[in-house]
Amino acid sequence: MTRRTFAAAASAAAAMLLAAVVTAGSPAAMAAGARAVHPPRMLSETGLYADGETRRIDPANRPYSPQYPLWTDGAAKARWVRLPAGTTIDVRNVDAWTFPVGTKFWKEFAFGGRRVETRLLWKVSATDWVFASYVWNEAQTDAMLAPADGVPGVAEIAPGKRHSIPSLEDCRACHDSGRTEVLGFNALQLSTDRDPGAFHADRIAPEMVTLQTLVEERRVSPLRREFVTDPPRIDAADPQTRAVLGYLSGNCGACHNASGPLANLGLNFRQPAYAPNGVHAVARSALNRVTKWDLPGQMPGTSRALVAGDPDHSALLYRMRSRRPSSQMPPLGTVVQDREAVEAVEAWIARQAQACVRSGCALPEGTQGNTVR
């Protein structure tokens, strides 16, 4: 990011009087007088660092690493969580955790060894979260709050391709799928039964938070011992299927799931923590399902999300390959194709998906299924 670009972003942020500061709570809650909480102007003021000058992370902020990370154009990411002292995460719903008020998450993005952006997700009331993105300066000494509309093109990540700071609406598009979701921090993502084939996953360092540490430190309620004795995993028949469905869960499941606003589309990539039929249910939701979005060159209404044995006629793979705004999936947060994942999904559709058909995952013959986008 150039000094000129950063100065423009800083000026815009100041001119908008911190308009980037908004909560993700319901209009009813705000109308009832819920007090808006503003994120600090500088990243160094958010509580991430114990020492702002050296950027030493406060020990109260614990690092973690999801086993199926979201693809962001090859960015190196670091993540931290801070749970208020004496609080616990409500895990009565194993797949939809409720975090205590005061919880903070940070995620840092770096390209080419330089910090570009750090995002903050901060729970300020029972229903409200604050979203904020911070843009790092040229000197790499601190980051300033970005304006609500985001900042385009802050760093080159490939020839002719640049990373942009998302707008608040973009943040909500990924995190507010029916309820505010913390992507990458759930039972499956923090499981100690890590998938060795997962794409782009980092190794767990001793200091990182996992399901086991949450149980051992009594930071979850109820205290689910099965998180340790029977850690969640995608119970696939082969390693490739496990890795592919984990990738789709981490990269597509935030929007395409059975409980969010798009549930009526019938396409569900979110893998549950514990479900004997979870693998088949996810594959069944996509196999032979007619899509509203049409593959180029095909008759309208004939394209299908996943055609076992036929990658080139699977809309899912086409949209993963594409980086055109009108057709790419995911629709936000990426401008560079994830070649490793595309090649793996292509190979899986060509071979392993057939096993799911043989085991009865496919929709009944002649069934069109719900139309999906």
Residue 368 lies in a domain: no
Is the pLDDT confidence value at 94 over 50? Answer: yes
pLDDT for the residue 81:
98
pLDDT value of residue 8? 44
Would you state the structure tokens that stand for residue 281, as one six-digit string? 């249910």
177 falls in which pLDDT band (50, 70, 90)?
A: low
Evaluate whether 341 touches 329 at the Cβ level (below 8 Å): no
Residue 366 lies in a domain: no
User: In this structure, are 281 and 171 located in the same domain?
Assistant: no
Q: Looking at 160, 194, 229, which one is the last position of a domain?
A: 229
In this structure, are 187 and 284 located in the same domain?
no
Q: What is the pLDDT of residues 281-324, one digit of tens each?
A: 777 888 888 988 899 999 999 999 999 899 999 999 999 999 99
**Are both 214 and 292 inside the same structural domain?**
no
Among 35-39, 142-146, 211-215, 274-278, which stretch is predicted with the lowest mean pLDDT? 274-278
Confidence of residue 20 (pLDDT cuts 50, 70, 90): very low
Mean per-residue pLDDT over the chain, rounded: 84
Is-cis flag, bond preceding 330, omega within 30?
yes
Pick the last residue of a domain from 205, 229, 253: 229
The tally of domains found in the chain comes to 2
365 in a structural domain:
no
pLDDT tens digit sequence for 124-152: 999 999 999 999 999 999 999 999 888 89
Write out the residue range of the structural domain in which residue 310 sits.
239-358
363 domain residue, yes or no: no
Asked whether residue 201 falls in the same domain as residue 312, the answer is no
CA 235 to centroid of chain Cα atoms: 21
Query: How are beta strands 49-51 and 62-63 bridged, if at all?
Result: unpaired
Same domain, 24 and 168: yes
- Whether 19 and 149 map to the same domain: the answer is yes
Q: What is the pTM of this model?
A: 0.84
User: Do 252 and 149 belong to one domain?
Assistant: no
Residue 367 within any structural domain of the chain: no
188 and 250 part of one domain: no
Backbone φ, ψ for residue 11 (5° rounding): -60, -40
Q: Are residues 257 and 160 in the same domain?
A: no
- Tell whether 182 and 160 lie within a shared domain: yes
| 66 and 115 housed in the same domain | yes
219 to 57, 100, 120, 224, 258: CA distances (angstroms): 21, 10, 21, 10, 28
Domain boundary, last residue among 179, 197, 229:
229
